[in-house]
Structure 1
Amino acid sequence: MNDALLAESDSPVAAADGPGGESLANHRSSRQSALGWEERISRRFRNLSTRGAARWRTMPERPRTLIMTVLYALVGAGGAILFLKLTHFFYAKGLPVMAGKGIWTFAWQSFLLLGGSSLAVGLLLHFVCPEAAGSGVPQIKVAYWKHFGVLSWRPAWVKLVAGVISLSGGSSLGREGPSVFAGSAAASALAGTLGETRARRRGATASGAAAALAAAFNTPLAGITFVLEEIIGDMNSRYLGPCIVAAVTGAFAVYACIGRQPSFVLPEVAGVGWYVLALTLLVAVAAAGVGVGLQRGTMWLRRRVRERSRLPVWLRPVVGGLTTWVLGVAAFIVVGRLGVFSLGYDDLSDAMQRGMVWQVAAVLLIAKLGATIASYAWGGCGGIFAPTLFLGAMTGFLCGGVMNLVSGWTGWGGGVLGQHEMIVLASVGMSACFGATVRAPMTAMLMIFEMTHRFEMIPALMIGTVASQAVARLMTGKMNFYEEVLIQDGYHPDEVDPPRDLHSWQQQSVQIVMNTRPVMVEDRSPECLRGFMVEHRYKTFPVVADGRYVGVVRRSAMVEALRTASEVPIEHATICSGAETIQTAAARMVRESSDVSVWVDVKTGAVKGIVTLHDLFRAQNRAAVS
């Protein structure tokens, strides 16, 4: 009987159905039912994920890179499109509605809106994610060059939320900088989620930025050139291919969600006269001057706010918001337009289609310039793309109106410049003001062309671009808006714009690779030396007496002195200056057979820094990897 039961229970078909028993198949079925549908779906998902990850790891490098670039672009473009949609939706529910209720109602309601939104932005940035303040482009440059493009999810969503609140509330800033930052940060975070190492995240950062700008402005070519010119700083970068793929993907995304229409719909401008090209030079110089004024004014006020303001950091954006309110309400009372608030694209689009009298353009230009300077300098969240385009267009209309006025006074006949000529001058002003502020000439020219879809304006844009770059370099040197922001934040220019070859790297200041906070030996007693070596693991230490440099001691000599109870021998090291180049300091170290060089102040004898051959080798290797 037992043998029969054993034989039946071992059968692959079924077990014995004795009294109180059940088949093995029914037992398995009951167990699966007991697991629940959630557990079964979870198991299947885990199995699919495991098999998918295994296949992903075995996929060849090139197709995997292409797929990941498309994913980065979709995330970056999606963030930019979401930002655009939310900003337009909430802004339309605020200031335009308030403006239709009368001056006094508009004044007090807009006061509450600007003050409340600015306060919300300040609290969000200060207590949740301080690195999400500003435009976002400088932060991308720092992440790209100093941290291999590593960004996390938190700055992405905080920048998006704070930007929507800020611009919907009326702060005079732009949405393109936050869009680029959010897209770039989201792409970098996605790369980390997909298993990319920290050293391989730069491609994701660049791709996300290119896709986000392409989607924000509907300008794929400008998205490519901006990343190469401004963030990477090299038009021959190996990330050119991924940037092209990302920008095209971003363009497809915005075509699907919004449409293929340009940012500004312009009338036909093909019939403008040759003299307009001559006048574009004057307009470009004026618009570039406005861009330089924006940069200088913002940097000056931003520095004073940081050095002298006693307000809490989270409260400072309110000052910028209320300054915008004062200027915006004043401009609304005078000319009846809302262009000072937020992006100003409604007034800009209307002006680009139907023109604008020069008196109105002058009022909006002055008010918008002051509002933008205050909003950015006091710590608001937003970019400078939209303000520079608005200011440049108003400069073009102002210059065109003044030219017509002068021509009437001189007897040449009033109204030499018609609506079409005015629109061309306004477009040149947009390109020139943006180019002078950002110093990205190819982006400045291509962006206006793509935003208007007017091929016939390219010659005028080229003239304006060249003139604006010359004026900007003459008036402010080589530093653009973003680089000056980084310098104020404590970054050295070479940290975010490294040299492209060995010779350029060697011509940098030795301070770049130097430890400017060296650990120094002041007490050479055995007790102090023993604790000193436990606390610090360096191999060489400068020795000072009464604050003046004496020499250096080696860790090995300190160990030997403690073992033999003798005095620590002091050695002489190479002396250098902070003004020397890396090449000069390294050559002196080699010539004097020294592996350490100390920067000593000539007047006081104080030690200001120390650099070793190991520091030089490490910095050179890091530059080569970058």
Structure 2
Amino acid sequence: MPRSPNFRFFQGGLLKHRATPKIFTTQADYVVLLGLSAIVGAISGLIVSTFEYAINFLAHYRMHFFDSWGLPHFVIAILIIIAGAIFAAVGFWLTGKLAPESSGSGIPHIEGALDGLHDIRWWRVLPVKFIAGALTLSSGMVLGREGPSVQIGGAVGRMCAGSAKRYQHATHVLTASGAAAGLAAAFNAPLAGILFIIEEMRPQFRYNITSFKCVTLATLMSTIVLRYFHGQNAIMEIQSYQIPPLGSLWLFLLLGIIFGIIGINFNNWVLQLTAMFKRYHRNNMLRMTITGAIFGAIFAFLQLYYPSMAMGGIIHITEFVKHPMPWVILVMFFALRMVATLGCFSSGAPGGVFAPMLTLGTLLGLAYGAIAAHFFPNLVGEPGVYAVAGMGALFAATVRAPVTGIVLVVEMTDNYQLILPLLMTCLGATFIAQLLGGSPLYSALLKQSLLNKENRQPAAKDMVKQSTPPNSDSNA
């Protein structure tokens, strides 16, 4: 694959590459790559499972560590908030100091690595993403662990590829396999992990029957490991809804159109705020650490007094659906969590945006369902169906991976019978977002990071020239 900073890939070469059966030239190569993919999947599943446990443990530890001290309630509250600020500050510092590529979700970094635009320093990314991500996410910030899980899985693949250097394309295949395994373990959704690589990373992923088998095997192993520790139930305990009537499908299409408009604006806001934070930080560790402390303190306070406004939101989704509120309050929560999600994700924190987006889709979908039930009671029996549709719609509109969004939601909620309404909503959201222009979220973030890197290099060269004496060569 040629390097292409403007993201215009050579389709002829790509098709030729996909059609050729000779990526792996011998049976031994084939067996070794499959075996390594299984190992990558198992390791990724183990690390991602431990990552989830670490986040939950640290969050609970921070919230209840001071309970036995016998201090007044307001003093304990202050200590909890300070602890949240320290957790986030340390997470920001570790990221900026040791592995800047670990900031954000990490998915653009993996996409760049698959296209040969980045190298994965796995010996830094793995420990920093794990420790900094666990600290930052447990502080209460509105971030998800799913994007970091993709980067962790990709780093595991790159680590294992070091033992297969003589096999052509092993690094690419194992990195992709690890990324798919990380997402599958994060959501307990193996099919979504496979589709995410094929659909979202389609410009970077090198299609071949062997590479596809490797990705599938890795997701299988990671899901087996995850379910060994966490059980085989769906990640969300949401009721199984009845199939809505065919006459109501236009309501799902309208919901998709609304999310398509929101999705394109969401991407633009993320890019603008990310650029703003980068201009403010300027790789200054003190500024980055202070930013982390401020965000950590704010969301530790919210987690203490307004828990629905903190954390990624997977737990809140179940509560929102089980105990629906008036649509006005749901819209208010949607607006507030939108601001919180944009701020936290764009700040450079080592966390993702998958779970917060699913929460936003749930809130607006529930509000839409309540309004639709009022005006069309014969078509809308259960407003919660629109919450499930909304989860996939915002994901589809921002990431531009509608099939992945559909499969992800049905695997997470165990509502396979809602595929047809989800198709209407997710495809409608994707078509509208494409019609309005812009790029998929992670591709746009990757392009932005590459442009920032290109701009920094000439500036560094100019600084070197200015610091070099004009007669240094002659004096030497």
The TM-score range, normalised by the shorter chain, is: 0.7 to 0.9
Q: How does 1:406-425 map to 2 (within 5 A)?
A: 407=375, 417-418=380-381, 421-425=382-386
Q: How does 1:555-594 map to 2 (within 5 A)?
A: none
- Report the equivalent of 2:186: 216
* Cα distance in 2 between the residues matched to 1:293 and 1:110: 35
Matching residue's letter, 1:451: M
- Report the equivalent of 2:17: none
**Contact 2:142 2:311 survives alignment (8 Å):** yes
* Cα distance in 2 between the residues matched to 1:360 and 1:96: 30
Query: 2:142 aligns to what SS in structure 1?
Result: coil
Deviation at 1:105, TM superposition (A): 6.0
* Cα distance in 1 between the residues matched to 2:168 and 2:27: 20
**Contact 1:138 1:483 survives alignment (8 Å):** yes
- Report the equivalent of 1:548: none
Between Structure 1 and Structure 2, the one with more helix by share is 2
Matching residue's letter, 1:440: A
Any idea what the Cα deviations from partners look like across 1:346-383, whole Å, max 9, x if unmatched? Answer: 21122233434323322321221111111122211101
Any idea what the Cα deviations from partners look like across 1:422-451, whole Å, max 9, x if unmatched? Answer: 221011111010111111111111100111
Matching residue's letter, 2:403: M
* Cα distance in 2 between the residues matched to 1:305 and 1:159: 20
Deviation at 1:192, TM superposition (A): 0.5
Any idea what the Cα deviations from partners look like across 1:323-361, whole Å, max 9, x if unmatched? Answer: 57547856986xxx5132121122112223343432332
Of the three residues 429, 433, 436, the one matched with 1:468 is 429
**Contact 1:393 1:427 survives alignment (8 Å):** yes
Q: Percent identity?
A: 26
Matching residue's letter, 1:353: K
User: In structure 2, do the counterparts of structure 1 residues 105 and 416 end up closer, same or farther at CA, with 3 Å as the change threshold?
Assistant: farther
Q: How does 1:275-286 map to 2 (within 5 A)?
A: 275-286=247-258
Matched, 1:348 2:345: no
Deviation at 1:106, TM superposition (A): 7.6
* Cα distance in 2 between the residues matched to 1:141 and 1:424: 33
Matching residue's letter, 2:192: A
- Report the equivalent of 2:216: 244
User: In structure 2, do the counterparts of structure 1 residues 468 and 361 end up closer, same or farther at CA, with 3 Å as the change threshold?
Assistant: same
Query: 1:201 aligns to what SS in structure 2?
Result: helix
Of the three residues 400, 403, 408, the one matched with 1:442 is 403
Unpaired segments ≥5 residues, structure 2? 1-25, 459-472
Between Structure 1 and Structure 2, the one with more strand by share is 1
Deviation at 1:474, TM superposition (A): 2.7
Q: How does 1:405-554 map to 2 (within 5 A)?
A: 407=375, 417-418=380-381, 421-477=382-438, 479-491=439-451
Query: 1:339 aligns to what SS in structure 2?
Result: helix
User: In structure 2, do the counterparts of structure 1 residues 367 and 259 end up closer, same or farther at CA, with 3 Å as the change threshold?
Assistant: same
Matching residue's letter, 1:154: R
Q: How does 1:100-249 map to 2 (within 5 A)?
A: 108-146=78-116, 150-193=120-163, 195=165, 200-233=170-203, 237-238=207-208, 239-249=211-221
* Cα distance in 1 between the residues matched to 2:205 and 2:388: 25
**Contact 2:143 2:341 survives alignment (8 Å):** yes
User: In structure 2, do the counterparts of structure 1 residues 328 and 436 end up closer, same or farther at CA, with 3 Å as the change threshold?
Assistant: farther
Query: 2:309 aligns to what SS in structure 1?
Result: coil
Deviation at 1:64, TM superposition (A): 1.8
**Contact 2:94 2:128 survives alignment (8 Å):** yes
- Report the equivalent of 1:66: 34
**Contact 2:328 2:367 survives alignment (8 Å):** yes
Matched, 1:303 2:308: no
**Contact 2:358 2:394 survives alignment (8 Å):** yes
CA RMSD, Structure 1 to Structure 2 (Å): 3.6
* Cα distance in 1 between the residues matched to 2:120 and 2:220: 23
Tell me the TM-score normalised to structure 1 length.
0.62
Q: How does 1:32-111 map to 2 (within 5 A)?
A: 60-95=28-63, 108-111=78-81
- Report the equivalent of 1:550: none
Using CA pairs under 8 Å that are at least 6 residues apart, name the structure with larger relative contact order, 1 or 2.
Answer: 2
* Cα distance in 1 between the residues matched to 2:89 and 2:31: 47
